[in-house]
Amino acid sequence: MAIVFYLVNQRPYSLKSDRYHDSPVPIDLSDFPWPWVILISLSVLACALLLYFYKRKSGPNEQIKETEPKIDPFAQAMEQFDKLSSLTPQPKAKPFIFKLSEILRLYVERQFKLPAMEKTGEEFIHEVSIHPLLRQKFEIPLKKFVQRGDLIKYSAENFNAQELKSLLDSAREFVSDAQKDWEEKRRIDEKKESSGEKVKKGSL
């Protein structure tokens, strides 16, 4: 009983006793590279924002480019010639020649990367005369076409359907012949490029 009385009257153990309280170890952060940490964090944030806005901006454009059909200048010109020749009733001389000239010039501009649509007849022929491919065979035929077309556009004279058909046939013939020359030049250039690559690989 004496032992029980002794245990009951003992003071409870206190964790708040100063003898058992450890003092915290001070941490010196003065040497920590705070400026570099902040700079790296800001750089990462800036890169993330730039990437986000780039994807947001370029994504729709790339999708539009993928869905846009590739234009074939030759096929489009031939299709437009057929539509113009099959119109019923046939347009009058001036609207007819304006449309015919537009088809021909649009083909030249797209296929040969030559400014044609916004040029006068004289300026257009000048561009043709300095073009390395067109000037060889087509300067004179195109000059005659432009001169005859300008006469129809700006003259009060009446022109019959046969003459308009003759101009359409000459435009169609030009586009066909020019396309053959363009394709031949492309084949030659591709062959030269391929041969150059083979020589380069062989020399290595």
What are the pLDDT digits (tens) for 29-82?
Answer: 566 566 767 778 888 888 777 777 776 665 555 444 445 558 899 999 999 999
User: Where in the chain are the domains?
Assistant: 73-191
Q: Which two tokens stand for residue 129?
A: 């005369």
AA identity, residue 169: D
Please report the DSSP string for 12-53 in residue order: PP-TT-GGGPPPPPP---TTS-HHHHHHHHHHHHHHHHHHHH
pLDDT digits (tens, 9 = 90+) for 114-168: 999 999 999 999 999 999 999 989 999 999 999 999 999 888 777 888 999 999 9
Q: Which two tokens stand for residue 112?
A: 């040969």
Whole-number pLDDT of residue 173: 97
Distance CA 118, CA 33 (A): 63
Torsion of CA 34, 35, 38, 40, to 10 degrees: -110
Cβ atoms of 145 and 163 closer than 8 Å: no
Cis peptide before 132 (omega within 30 of 0): no
Distance CA 129, CA 132 (A): 8
Q: Which two tokens stand for residue 113?
A: 């990367």
Cβ atoms of 129 and 58 closer than 8 Å: no
* pTM reported for the whole predicted model: 0.63
Distance CA 57, CA 192 (A): 39
